[in-house]
Amino acid sequence: MNEQGATPVPPTTAPWWRSAVIYQVYIRSFADGDGDGVGDIAGIRSRLPYLKSLGVDALWINPWYKSPQADHGYDVADYREIDPLFGTVAEAEQFIEEAHAHGIRIVPDIVPNHSSDQHAWFRAALAAGPGSPERERYIFRPGRGPDGSLPPNDWDSRFGGPAWTRVADGEWYLHLFAPQQPDLDWQHPDVHAEFEAVLRFWFERGVDGFRIDVAHGLVKDPELPDLAGLTDGGVHPFWDRDQVHDIYRAWRRLADEYPGDRSFVAEAWTDTPERLASYVRSDGLHTAFNFDFLMTDWDAKDLRAVIDDTLAMLGTVGAPATWVMSNHDVMRHASRYGRRAAKKWVANESYVPAGPADLALGTRRARAAALLTLALPGGAYVYQGEELGLPEVEDLPESVLQDPVWERSGHTDRGRDGCRVPIPWSGETAPYGFSPADATAAPWLPQPADWAPYTVAAQTGDETSMLELYRAALRVRRDHPALGDGTLTWLDDAPEGVLAFRREPGFVCVVNLSTEPYPLPEHTSVLLAGEPVENGRLAPDQAAWLAL
Ligand code: GLC
């Protein structure tokens, strides 16, 4: 046996974010209140009782700000307005209040790496021309070549194609994502001041924290060197540069001025858990998504390694881990766990699946994985629909694809629409209760014809359903003193292919990733299992929670 995690079990007064289960609401696909085929704040408000009964602690809401929606809200035109598609600021305030009344915290997204090209600052920069102070808030440069017709350097956009676009007067501007998402220049004091003011604007309206989009990308090497010159182990010119932490130290001080443990979670795709740990210090951000865990295939050895590395590295800075399997940017895990990756999935690259998914297998594993993640020390994220066992929709017709990745990649990458299909709530046919009965438009992405068994209504009360498994797991997690923040101890007598760990007081989680049934270790009762345990043996790809 070995003891994991350097921090002692904190007192029960530990802040909420050390052990929270945070449910991700991809707003345009969660629930459509006004019948235009796009989810909105009214829809979330109407589903607060569902979220309450599911048992989550907080909601992360994908960007709801005013936006031309070129990247579904990640292109923000006004950080102090709610997009009319989703509602109004007054409605957001009301929603935050109602969520709080349900005991649910609200964590919106903030997008500081880039704005929309329709943001007042960018429009002013275009109008003011080369050399103007307005252009200094973004990253404008002359082109290369005798007539400046070549981009200033060799950087590619994360969505495909060059990271530079040329404007009418001949200058180029940087966009690590779509051309409609110009990168802000974080060397400029206005940018710091503006985002601090925006954080305050929403903190004053009661939000409990922020999810920081592309937190690892804000600071660029001022020389903007070609990537071609990057040596192995060298410092990347735009990902995960040490200077980003100066920004977050200031944000932490700001958040600490407000009562109620406001907190940040970083979207930071780093190469190693060591680098991730640099984001989450007592004078930096509170938590960060654990993408190393998300990027790991269903394999006992690999999962154990990533769990150990995570807990060890975050333990050195006293930060809690987070456990994440899915989000709006990656293939849903019920589909991923039913196959393997064709090549090792690494940060800032897309997942490449090897062959088609075995969905029955992926779903069994997703049940086991839910029990694994909810038993590990720290907090956990649940991406809307994973509690329903939704698979990736891999056969959306090309004509409906909307993710900018599809066009930018020259139709080689279908993009992320397959994990963003609107949620099925009830009924036998689309829109499955996603939109009201008198809706004027169909859901913005078509839902599969065979989704009736996945609806909330169909699964409610069915003890074998994914939804009831999540409800039960969240109930046990809430009540059991061993779960949430803390440490774990591996049961090292478990055979290869079985992950078994103990948490105090008196709790064991066993996950069988082998191909043989596994006789459960001694216990007084089975608190919960992915499927009924027969003759004390745990079937392959199943998990159980035991009381000692
Ligand atoms: C983040 C978001 C993603 C978005 C990108 C650009 O990775 O999660 O959805 O496209 O940032 O803002």
Q: What is the whole-number distance in angstroms between the Cα of residue 62 and the centre of ligand 1? A: 10
pLDDT tens, residue by residue, 69-118: 999 999 999 999 999 999 999 999 999 999 999 999 999 999 999 999 99
Instruction: Count CB-CB contacts under 10 A for residue 126.
Output: 20
Question: Using the 8-state DSSP alphabet, how is residue 81 labeled?
Answer: E
Q: What is the pTM of this model?
A: 0.96
Q: What is the whole-number distance in angstroms between the Cα of residue 46 and the centre of ligand 1? A: 27
155-191: buried (b, 16+ CB within 10 Å) or exposed (e) per residue? bebbbbebbbbbeeeebbbbbbbbbbbbbbbbeeeeb
Helix (H, G, I), strand (E, B) or coil at 49: helix
Q: What is the whole-number distance in angstroms between the Cα of residue 72 and the centre of ligand 1? A: 9
Is the separation of the CB atoms in 311 and 398 below 8 Å?
no
Q: What's the chain's length in residues?
A: 548
Atom of ligand 1 nearest to the CA of 404: 10
Q: Is the CB–ligand 1 distance for residue 183 below 6 Å? A: no
pLDDT at residue 3, rounded to an integer: 37
State yes or no: pLDDT of 459 exceeds 90: yes
214-231: buried (b, 16+ CB within 10 Å) or exposed (e) per residue? bbbbbbbeeeeeeeeeee
High-pLDDT (> 70) share of the chain, %? 98
pLDDT at residue 229, rounded to an integer: 84
Report which secondary-structure segment, H or E, holds 91.
Answer: helix 89-101
The pick from 25, 64, 74 for probing ligand 1's pocket by mutation, whose C-beta has the most ligand atoms within 8 angstroms, reads: 74
pLDDT tens, residue by residue, 319-371: 999 999 999 999 999 999 999 999 999 988 889 999 999 999 999 999 999 99
Residue 112: which of 224, 212, 245 has the closest Cα? Answer: 212
Residue 527: which of 506, 512, 541, 504 has the closest Cα? Answer: 506
- 188-197: average pLDDT: 98
State yes or no: pLDDT of 438 exceeds 60: yes
Residue 462 burial (CB < 10 Å; 0-12/13-18/19+)? exposed
pLDDT at residue 6, rounded to an integer: 36
pLDDT at residue 10, rounded to an integer: 41
pLDDT tens, residue by residue, 6-62: 334 344 579 999 999 999 999 999 999 999 999 999 999 999 999 999 999 999 999
Active-site option among 40, 75, 109, 213: 213
pLDDT at residue 248, rounded to an integer: 98
Q: What is the whole-number distance in angstroms between the Cα of residue 73 and the centre of ligand 1? A: 9
Q: Please report the domains of the chain, with CATH numbers, ordered by start residue.
A: 16-113+189-224+240-459 (3.20.20.80), 120-174 (3.90.400.10)
Across the chain, what does the average pLDDT equal?
96
Q: Is the CB–ligand 1 distance for residue 289 below 6 Å? A: no
pLDDT at residue 233, rounded to an integer: 82
257 catalytic per annotation:
yes
Atom of ligand 1 nearest to the CA of 75: 12
- 149-156: average pLDDT: 98
